[in-house]
Amino acid sequence: MSEEELARKLRRAAHLILFQHHRYPGAKGWELRKVVGRDYMKVIKLLREKLSDLGLDIKIVSEEGEDIASLSEMQLDKARFYVVSKHPLTFSEAALAGWRLDSLAVLAVTISFIASRHGKAPKKEVEKMLSEKFPEWKVSVELDRFIKKGYLSEDEEEVLYLGWRTKAEVDLKALLENIAGGQTS
Amino acid sequence: MPRWKLVDDLLLDSEALRELSEVVKLQSDWVKHRASRMFIDPFLVETKLKLMDREQLAKAFLRSWRPVISTEQLTFRRLKEAYDYWAALPPLLERKRELMTQAEVEVKHLNLEELIKMRLLSREEFERSLNEMYEELVNASRGGPINYWGFVIKDSFEESALRAYMASFLVSQGRAEIFIDPIQEEIFIKPAKAEDKKMGRSIVVAFNYSIWEKELERIKHERRRAS
């Protein structure tokens, strides 16, 4: 593969992952294979190195929503590739992105609560838990916002689940460890 | 500390402290291990969540959060769809005219001519029904007045409404007379006298579902009393 061709493939892969062209951001493995070629994983590896200099990383999430290090070719085809921040955000960085301290805290409680109950919890229980620290109107507004953003999903029986965005963005093990271990300082 | 005299005491105390710290460390490792395997007691998490303040919660989240970076863009396909929509959109003046026409549509009464025009009714059929009704009125009244509601009301609302509508035609054609007893406020109907025929007159008689229900009940009650 010539340098020129590699540069072209890198550009195409970066555009495909970064520019939202569906309802959800990122790109599926089969889309990358179609646009970049069969050796797209080599291009992804190179792109990851280049993005690393900018503080970004590529995250591969399986169809089931799991972040698995090694996936088979078939699993990769169905997996979604995202560009994510490589390092944790600071308060000021999160604020610049439009996040308030309260919203982060509500999201932390909600995700931890649901994750500790094997990925689902009745909405009423979540609301009751949140209402101990936040006003009811805020709880309702924030939960609706998180559902719209994809951090949570809700079924007809008002049961909350972890949404696609939580699976893509949040390291659940680390979060539970931080909460349960009390490593908050 | 100054009271400690023996080195052995110091050694024993430090040993106890070391053992205690070891227990705490093991407990911490156990919790971390459980958390890392996602096997964690929900009540432990709930308790911790209740104990932590907003800042601690936000910090815990930030440490495990790597937000997705993406940018929204206008694709060529969407641009093409927008162009096609624009090209097919009629000028505002045309759409305004359509909207005005729709707004001008009002609810109004249909007369016999319009019903015939709309082919909902044929003139012959209507005339035949009117003649049948007139015969029925002549037979029922035997020349004298009879209660209007007793004549018009039947078991179904639709049939009663149709009969009230047709009775109004008989009156307007001058073939029947309607008059109201001002004291009893009772409405009567009777066939018109030969000399009064062709002299149609107009009396407003309201008819709706609640009137039909009330009059039907009254008629049934009267029939029961008579039998």
Q: What is the pLDDT of residues A9-50, one digit of tens each?
A: 999 999 999 988 777 889 999 999 999 998 899 999 999 999
Q: How confident is the model at residue A69 (pLDDT cuts 50, 70, 90)?
A: low
The label of the residue with tokens 């004291």 reads B183
A92: closest chain B residue by CA: B62
Chain B contact for A14 (CB, 8 A cutoff): no
Decide if A84 and B61 are in contact by the 8 Å CB cutoff: no
State yes or no: pLDDT of B1 exceeds 60: no
> Where is A19: in which H helix or E strand?
strand A19-20
State yes or no: pLDDT of B194 exceeds 60: yes
B27: closest chain A residue by CA: A181
Chain B contact for A80 (CB, 8 A cutoff): no
Nearest chain B Cα distance for residue A140, angstroms: 17
A17: closest chain B residue by CA: B70
Question: What pLDDT, in 10s, does the model give residues B27-49?
Answer: 877 776 666 556 677 888 888 89
* Mean pLDDT calculated for residue range B179-185: 75
At B2 the pLDDT is: 60
Higher pLDDT, A73 or A110: A110
pTM of the complete model: 0.55
Query: Per-residue b/e over A163-177, b at no fewer than 16 CB within 10 Å?
Result: bbbbbbbbebbbbbb
At B110 the pLDDT is: 65
* Mean pLDDT calculated for residue range A84-96: 91
Q: How many CA atoms lie within 13 A of B143 on its CB side?
A: 1
Q: What is the rounded average pLDDT for all residues in chain A? A: 89
The label of the residue with tokens 């080599």 reads A42
Residues B182 and B188: beta-carbon distance below 8 Å: no
Q: Is B177 helix (H, G, I), strand (E, B) or coil?
A: strand
B220: nearest Cα among B137, B154, B148: B154
At A108 the pLDDT is: 95
A101: closest chain B residue by CA: B58
Chain B contact for A10 (CB, 8 A cutoff): no
* Mean pLDDT calculated for residue range B146-167: 88
Q: How confident is the model at residue A68 (pLDDT cuts 50, 70, 90)?
A: low
d(CA B22, CA B16): 10
Chain B contact for A146 (CB, 8 A cutoff): no
At B162 the pLDDT is: 86
Under CATH, domain B112-226 is a member of which superfamily?
Structural maintenance of chromosome 1. Chain E (1.10.10.580)
**% chain A with pLDDT above 70:** 95
Nearest chain A Cα distance for residue B218, angstroms: 50
State yes or no: pLDDT of A91 exceeds 50: yes
Residues, chain A: 185
d(CA B178, CA B188): 6
Dihedral class, residue B173 (left if φ above 0, else alpha if ψ from -120 to 50, else beta): alpha
Nearest chain B Cα distance for residue A5, angstroms: 24
Q: How confident is the model at residue B9 (pLDDT cuts 50, 70, 90)?
A: confident
Phi, psi torsion values for B115, nearest 5 degrees: -65, -40
Chain A and chain B share a number of CB contacts under 8 A equal to 155
Domain boundaries, chain B: 7-63, 112-226
Residues B176 and B138: beta-carbon distance below 8 Å: no
Q: Which of B38, B53, B68, B77 to mutate to test the interface with A (most CBs of A within 10 A)?
A: B68
**B126: Cα separation from own chain's centroid:** 37
Nearest chain B Cα distance for residue A172, angstroms: 7
Q: How many CA atoms lie within 13 A of B18 on its CB side?
A: 6
State yes or no: pLDDT of A57 exceeds 90: yes
State yes or no: pLDDT of A184 exceeds 50: no
Question: What pLDDT, in 10s, does the model give residues B70-109?
Answer: 887 777 777 888 888 888 888 877 777 766 665 555 556 6
State yes or no: pLDDT of A185 exceeds 60: no
Read off the tokens for A131. 């209402």
Domains in chain A: ranges and CATH: 3-87 (1.10.10), 92-180 (1.10.10.10)
Q: Report how many helices (DSSP H) and strands (DSSP E) chain A contains, helices first.
A: 10, 7
